[in-house]
Each structure stands twice: as structure tokens, then as C-alpha cells.
């Protein structure tokens, strides 16, 4: 089903069928990679990664990552720099439509790296995922403990995304050190949303000593 505004929406292909690396290999090969080749990543790979994080996997709307009370407080944004078939810019993932909706134009990753306490290795990756959340519904149901649940959910979503990246022969690194307001400004978060983590993704650079298992 197309999302509301087709001019501002890129419908995503399904998660690539080639993402069949054994989970053991994906886990054993996961390392935080902070050096990236200046190569575009395929849109299919990005589609698989965002689907793994927050995709709808059940007819009743439940998603790839678990959520306390199935309330789904997370939002997933992509700050894209080099993704084939996706203009550079800020995009928000729509789990319901498996589509990306444009939220901002142009390459914003240098700004994002700046917001992440000048971690300028972020400049080189193909895209950065930003997981954010509106805690209200979860806190309404679970009280203060709901805040913890929302943080835990971000961990599940990022873990899924990272393992999918590995299964597709890509690398990733999580970033927790950033100024919330600055990241919120880059991504265009609403007042009631707070950023929880960043996940850089792309093809690891040649400098990486790679004794990991080969990728199919
Ligand atoms: C919650 C969290 C926040 C992190 N934040 C950063 C960060 O801001 N910058 C960074 O370079 N690495 C960050 N890391 C990555 C850790 O440094 C890394 O996981 C650790 O050195 C172990 O290496 P490995 O991931 O390759 O196994 C973070 C990891 C976690 C779990």
C-alpha cells in the first residue's frame, strides 16, 4: 500500500533473500567498525536493515523487534549519504508501509557527526540509522519503569539491524555519545521524541583486519 505522499516516499524492496548467513557467523563477525570504504550501499540492503530493526512481521502489526505491551514507541530515521536509489537526506522509516518518508534534504551526516561529539569517522559510512522514541504511551502503562523498557527496545532493534547488516556483508557501529538536542535538530525530531542511539552502516574499509568468516 503506498504511503500518504508518493512524492516524498520511497517504497522499499523486501528484505534480500540472500541474507541467510548463519546467526552464529553473523554474531562472531560483529565488530564495531569505524572505518568505511567510500562506497554506496544498495537500497535492498538498507531495506533489509530497517526491516530487521522495526519491520512489520505479523498481520496484526507486530514487529521484528519486541516491544513492551506491543506499544512500539520507537521511531527509526535514516541519515543517508550514499545509498543507491535513495537521495541523500533524512528519511523516516514507515513500518506499516515498509517505505521511507523524506524528512530533510541533502547530506546531513557531517552535522550528525558533529552532534555526536565530533566523531567524524561517521562522515564515511553510507548511512546512519537514528533510533528515537516517544516514551509517553509506555510510561503511561508501566510508570517510570517504562523508560527502561524503551531503552531496552532500542537495544533489540539495533541488534537486529546490526546482525542483518553483517548477514548482507556490511558493517556497523553503535554510537551513544551525542548531544540529544543536536541529533534531534538534524533528524527533525518532535519535542516529545528523544534520540536513543545511532547506528552507522556501510562497507567496512580496506584497513580493517578481516579474519572473519566469509559472507555468502
Ligand atoms: C551503548 C553503547 C554506546 C556506544 N557508544 C559509542 C560511541 O559513541 N562511539 C564509539 O566509537 N563507540 C561506541 N560504542 C562501541 C563500543 O566502544 C564497542 O562496542 C566496544 O569497544 C566493544 O567493541 P566491539 O563492538 O567491536 O565488540 C558504544 C557501545 C555501546 C553498547
Residue 109's pLDDT is what?
Answer: 84
Task: Report which of 200, 53, 206, 22 is spatially closest to residue 113, judged by C-alpha positions.
Answer: 200
Residue 27's pLDDT is what?
Answer: 93
The answer on pLDDT for 215 being more than 70 is: no
Q: Are 122 and 128 in contact (CB under 8 A)?
A: yes
Nearest protein CA to atom 13 of ligand 1, as residue? 175
How many Å apart are CA 70 and CA 54, to the nearest integer?
Answer: 12
pLDDT-based confidence at residue 170 (cuts at 50, 70, 90): very high
Is there an atom of ligand 1 within 6 Å of 32 CB? yes
Percent of the residues in the chain that have a pLDDT greater than 90, as a whole number: 87
Percent of the residues in the chain that have a pLDDT greater than 70, as a whole number: 92
Q: Among 29, 174, 178, say which to mutate for ligand 1: greatest number of ligand atoms within 8 Å of CB.
A: 174
Residue 45's pLDDT is what?
Answer: 96
Structure confidence by residue, pLDDT tens digits, 18-36: 888 899 999 999 999 999 9
Is there an atom of ligand 1 within 6 Å of 174 CB? yes
Q: Are 205 and 124 in contact (CB under 8 A)?
A: yes
CATH topology for 22-202 is NADH Oxidase (3.40.109)
How confident is the model over 28-47, as a mean pLDDT? Answer: 95
Q: Among 115, 162, 175, say which to mutate for ligand 1: greatest number of ligand atoms within 8 Å of CB.
A: 175
The answer on pLDDT for 3 being more than 70 is: no
Dihedral pair phi/psi, residue 117, rounded to 5°: 55, 40
C-alpha cell at 118: 565530533
Is there an atom of ligand 1 within 6 Å of 175 CB? yes
pLDDT-based confidence at residue 211 (cuts at 50, 70, 90): low
Q: Are 173 and 33 in contact (CB under 8 A)?
A: yes
How many Å apart are CA 207 and CA 216, to the nearest integer?
Answer: 21
Is there an atom of ligand 1 within 6 Å of 176 CB? yes
The answer on pLDDT for 180 being more than 90 is: yes
Is there an atom of ligand 1 within 6 Å of 119 CB? yes
Structure confidence by residue, pLDDT tens digits, 119-144: 999 999 999 999 999 999 999 999 99
Q: In whole angstroms, how far apart are CA 102 and each of 17, 65, 67, 158, 176? A: 26, 23, 25, 21, 24
Q: Which atom belonging to ligand 1 lies closest to the Cα atom of 178?
A: 8
The answer on pLDDT for 61 being more than 70 is: yes
The answer on pLDDT for 209 being more than 90 is: no
Amino acid at each position: 500500500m503506498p504511503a500518504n505522499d508518493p512524492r516524498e516516499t520511497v517504497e522499499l524492496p523486501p528484505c534480500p533473500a540472500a541474507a541467510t548467513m548463519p546467526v552464529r557467523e553473523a554474531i562472531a563477525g560483529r565488530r564495531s567498525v569505524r572505518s568505511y570504504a567510500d562506497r554506496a550501499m544498495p537500497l535492498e540492503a538498507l531495506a533489509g536493515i530497517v526491516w530487521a530493526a522495526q519491520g512489520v512481521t505479523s498481520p496484526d502489526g507486530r514487529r521484528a523487534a519486541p516491544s513492551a505491551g506491543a506499544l512500539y514507541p520507537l521511531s527509526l530515521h535514516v541519515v543517508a549519504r550514499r545509498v543507491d536509489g535513495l537521495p541523500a537526506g533524512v528519511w523516516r522509516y514507515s513500518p506499516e508501509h515498509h517505505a521511507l518518508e523524506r524528512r530533510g534534504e541533502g547530506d546531513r551526516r557531517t552535522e550528525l557527526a558533529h552532534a555526536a561529539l565530533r566523531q567524524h569517522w561517521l562522515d564515511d559510512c553510507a548511512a546512519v540509522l537514528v533510533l528515537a522514541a516517544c516514551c509517553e504511551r509506555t510510561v503511561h502503562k508501566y510508570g517510570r519503569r517504562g523508560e527502561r523498557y524503551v531503552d531496552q527496545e532500542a537495544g533489540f532493534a539495533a541488534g537486529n539491524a546490526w546482525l542483518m547488516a553483517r548477514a548482507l556483508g556490511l558493517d556497523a557501529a553503535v554510537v551513544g555519545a551525542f548531544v540529544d538536542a543536536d541529533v534531534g535538530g538534524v533528524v527533525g525530531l518532535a519535542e516529545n521524541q528523544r534520540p536513543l542511539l545511532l547506528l552507522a552502516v556501510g562497507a567496512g574499509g580496506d584497513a580493517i583486519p578481516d579474519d572473519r568468516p566469509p559472507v555468502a
